[in-house]
């Protein structure tokens, strides 16, 4: 009888212990998920106007909507990577996606299945980008500072920094640069892991995240890549370890570049035809770099520059206050970390001010960036990590001076809500569903053979409507179109004499035309910049195409090889983790 009672009591104790363990596990799981829930909730609030109204009506909104409508239509029609956008320029086509990063449009196209419309699809993708940027910042900061409080607070801060939220999203609608904020923290996270752990998975993660940055916004990649290498050298402690760490990180970046070759090789090859320098020459008032320094004479004539100048100064003050608090930490490693990012912040601010113009002139590659104030991306990143270090330092120990500086910095951060709220409150529906958006601001960078007067609205529309609705305009005879697709047009033409025909697609290097017999035909630009083909007399079956050249094929091959190597690295990492 005593044995039975003892067993019952033991069962009750075991059951109670199991319940306590279950509650403890659930509480631990909830605590682990709390930062993620905070970031998601904050991103929903901050991106609510974009979710509700779609792509914000900013500086680049029409261009992004135009590109995306064509890109998504061709993608969902079965073209894996649309380069030539058939519907751009009122149906005359555009090669812009040979050089412009496609990743943000792939992300938005995922939501086409819901039938939301192009503007709303871009709006949802904006929320995804904002949420992912916060989560990426949390992952990176969690690797730098201990605990969950500091990474969670600064992950939200990363999303609300004025240049990220107000300027890039609600003022400029700079979709690609906005998406770039997702990848920078991930690159730094995997770089730290690679130096510290030397694992195959960290190498693969670095390569993939760097690929995504390249395929998103090359200008941000150009600014950010030196910071990665400098940080790798800084993070490694010993010289021997520093050299090996730099080698590993360098290999990861090279692997990421190879993985992105399907986009990058055509972009570099076609740059001579779609040159940012040509764009600057054709529209110096809009793109020449020395007109866009902060706190310059441009402030008096450009409200955007004036606003951005003061917002940048505001962010700089936050970075200074955060550094003052962060540097008081007891951890020598975190003090060194704060010094590095304070230097990055200082260099970023310096490069946006007029006295740095000599640097921009000495380094020609910088001129392609067009706007010195783009260095705000690095200022936003460094301000975020400095704030995270400051929170960690404040939680570690508190003093009167530290508290006073921290409170002042917090007040400055809370003040960011004012410009953010004004920008969010001004959003509205602006897309006219029946209007065909096809504006191409890069056209003066690539259509060098055309009268510049015809390359601005309504010039392009006038060209598109010449000859009525017909897309083939023969000098004599009659034409019948049998195929009209991106990069491939087939038509038949019957003419009693040798003739010429104009095809309503813009001329661009790479277009070829052949007869059914295989005989090549001569192409040239018409006075309006359209494709002009000389044809012999009689009945002709013409195949006009923009075939994949060696550069595109080589890019696909290199990306495939690099992708296979990344898969092998991930597989190796998985095997080692399973053995452990």
Question: For the whole model, what pTM was predicted?
Answer: 0.91
Residue with tokens 């904002």: 130
Give yes or no for a contact between 337 and 421, defined as CB atoms under 8 angstroms apart.
Answer: no
Bridge partner list, 545: 488, 512
How far from each other are the two terminal CA atoms of the chain, in whole angstroms?
48
Q: Which run of H or E residues covers position 541?
A: strand 538-545
Residue with tokens 């402690």: 237
Tokens coding 426: 């001004």
Per-residue buried b or exposed e for 147-156, using 16+ beta carbons within 10 Å of the residue's own CB: ebebbbbbbb
Give the Cα separation of 52 and 424 in Å (integer): 11
Phi, psi of 549 (to 5 degrees): -90, -175
Mean pLDDT in runs of 10 for the chain (580 residues)?
53 57 55 88 97 94 94 96 94 93 96 93 97 97 91 96 97 97 98 91 95 96 95 77 86 97 94 79 73 88 93 97 93 91 97 92 82 95 96 87 92 95 93 79 80 73 85 89 96 91 93 94 91 93 95 96 92 60
- Residues 235 and 136: their CA atoms lie apart, in Å, by 19
DSSP H helices in 92-217 = 103-109, 118-144, 149-160, 162, 175-197, 200-214
* Contact call for residues 67 and 100 (beta carbons, < 8 A): yes
pLDDT of residue 324: 95
- Other CB atoms closer than 10 Å to residue 416's CB: what's the count? 19
CB neighbour list of residue 269: distance below 8 Å, 6 or more residues apart: 551
Q: Please name which of 329, 364, 321, 362 lies closest in space to residue 345, comparing C-alpha atoms.
A: 321
Angstrom CA distances, 387 to 33, 102, 148, 223, stand at: 22, 32, 14, 22
Alpha carbons 210 and 189: distance in angstroms, whole number: 11
Q: Annotate 233-253 with three-state secondary structure.
A: HHHCCCHHHHHHHHHHHHHHH
Structure tokens at 507: 């001329």
Distance separating alpha carbons of residues 160 and 512, to the nearest angstrom:
49
Alpha-carbon span 489 to 542, nearest angstrom: 8
Who contacts 104 (Cβ-Cβ below 8 Å, separation ≥6)? 64, 125, 129, 175, 176, 178, 179, 216
CA distance 516 to 495: 16
Instruction: Identify which of 284, 292, 289 has the alpha carbon closest to the alpha carbon of residue 444.
Output: 284
- Both tokens of residue 204? 């693969």
- Residue 282, Cβ neighbours under 10 Å: how many? 17
Torsions phi, psi of 492, nearest 5? Answer: -110, 145
| CA–CA gap between residue 65 and residue 285 (Å, rounded) | 24
Pairwise CA distance, residues 130 & 124, whole Å:
10
Token pair in block for residue 406: 């921290």
Q: What is the pLDDT of residue 401?
A: 87
Dihedral angle sign, alpha carbons of residues 16, 21, 23, 24: positive
Q: Report the C-alpha gap between 150 and 325 in whole angstroms.
A: 13
User: Can you name the residues that pair with 259 across neighbouring β-strands?
Assistant: none
Cβ atoms of 105 and 519 within 8 Å: the answer is no
CA distances from 390 to 3, 113, 135, 423 (A): 60, 44, 19, 28
* CB-count exposure of residue 396 (10 Å: 0-12, 13-18, 19+): middle
Please give the DSSP secondary-structure letter assigned to residue 432.
Answer: -
Contact between 263 and 369 under an 8 Å Cβ cutoff? The reply is no
Which token pair is 56? 């914000």
The residue count of the chain comes to 580
The C-alpha atoms of residue 38 and residue 66 are separated, in whole angstroms, by 34
| CB-based contact 539:173 (threshold 8 Å) | no
Report which of 209, 263, 307 is spatially closest to residue 559, judged by C-alpha positions: 263
Half-sphere exposure of 318 (CA within 13 A, CB side): 30
How many CA atoms lie within 13 Å of 36's alpha carbon, on the beta-carbon side?
6
Fold of 466-547: Immunoglobulin-like (2.60.40)
Q: How many CB atoms lie within 10 A of CB 435?
A: 8
Q: Where are the domains of the chain?
A: 466-547
Note the pLDDT of residue 245: 85
């Amino acid at each position: 009888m005593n044995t039975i009672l003892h067993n019952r009591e033991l069962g009750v104790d075991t059951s109670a212990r199991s319940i306590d363990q279950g509650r403890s596990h659930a509480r631990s799981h909830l605590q682990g998920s709390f930062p993620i829930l905070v970031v998601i909730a904050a991103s929903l609030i901050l991106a609510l106007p974009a979710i509700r109204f779609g792509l914000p009506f900013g500086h680049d909104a029409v261009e992004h909507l135009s590109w995306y409508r064509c890109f998504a239509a061709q993608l969902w029609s079965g073209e894996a990577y649309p380069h030539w956008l058939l519907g751009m320029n009122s149906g005359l086509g555009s090669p812009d996606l040979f050089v412009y990063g496609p990743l943000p449009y792939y992300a938005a196209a995922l939501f086409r299945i819901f039938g939301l419309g192009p503007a709303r699809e871009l709006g949802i993708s904006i929320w995804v980008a904002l949420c992912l940027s916060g989560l990426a910042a949390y992952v990176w900061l969690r690797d730098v500072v201990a605990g969950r409080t500091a990474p969670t607070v600064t992950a939200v801060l990363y999303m609300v920094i004025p240049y990220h939220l107000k300027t890039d999203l609600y003022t400029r609608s700079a979709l690609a640069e906005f998406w770039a904020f997702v990848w920078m923290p991930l690159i730094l996270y995997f770089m730290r892991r690679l130096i510290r752990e030397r694992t195959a998975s960290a190498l693969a993660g670095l390569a993939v995240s760097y690929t995504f940055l390249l395929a998103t916004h090359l200008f941000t990649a150009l600014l950010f890549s030196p910071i990665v290498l400098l940080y790798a050298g800084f993070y490694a402690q010993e010289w021997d370890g520093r050299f090996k760490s730099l080698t590993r990180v360098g290999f990861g970046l090279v692997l990421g570049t190879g993985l992105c070759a399907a986009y990058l090789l055509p972009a570099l090859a076609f740059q001579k035809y779609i040159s940012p320098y040509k764009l600057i020459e054709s529209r110096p008032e809009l793109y020449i770099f020395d007109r866009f320094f902060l706190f310059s004479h441009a402030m008096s004539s450009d409200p955007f520059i004036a606003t951005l100048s003061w917002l940048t100064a505001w962010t700089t003050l936050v970075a200074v206050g955060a550094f003052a608090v962060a540097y008081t930490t007891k951890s020598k490693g975190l003090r060194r970390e704060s010094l590095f990012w304070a230097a990055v912040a200082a260099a970023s601010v310096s490069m946006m001010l007029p006295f740095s113009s000599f640097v921009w002139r000495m380094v020609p590659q910088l001129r392609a960036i067009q706007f010195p104030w783009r260095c705000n991306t690095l200022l936003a990143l460094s301000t975020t990590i400095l704030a995270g270090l400051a929170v960690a330092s404040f939680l570690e120990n508190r003093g009167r001076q530290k508290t006073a500086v921290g409170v002042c910095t917090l007040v400055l951060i809370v003040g960011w809500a004012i410009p953010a709220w004004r920008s969010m409150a001004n959003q509205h529906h602006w897309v006219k569903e029946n209007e065909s958006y096809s504006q191409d601001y890069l056209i003066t960078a690539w259509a060098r053979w055309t009268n510049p007067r015809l390359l601005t609205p309504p010039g392009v529309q006038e060209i598109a409507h010449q000859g009525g609705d017909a897309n083939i305009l023969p000098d004599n005879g009659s034409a019948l179109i049998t195929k009209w697709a991106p990069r491939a047009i087939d038509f038949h033409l019957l003419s009693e004499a040798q003739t010429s025909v104009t095809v309503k697609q813009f001329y661009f290097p790479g277009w070829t035309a052949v007869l059914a017999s295989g005989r090549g035909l001569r192409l040239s630009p018409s006075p309006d910049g359209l494709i002009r083909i000389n044809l012999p007399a009689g009945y002709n079956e013409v195949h006009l195409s923009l075939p994949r050249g060696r550069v595109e094929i080589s890019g696909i091959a290199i990306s495939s090889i690099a992708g296979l190597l990344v898969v092998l690295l991930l597989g190796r990492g998985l095997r080692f983790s399973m053995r452990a």
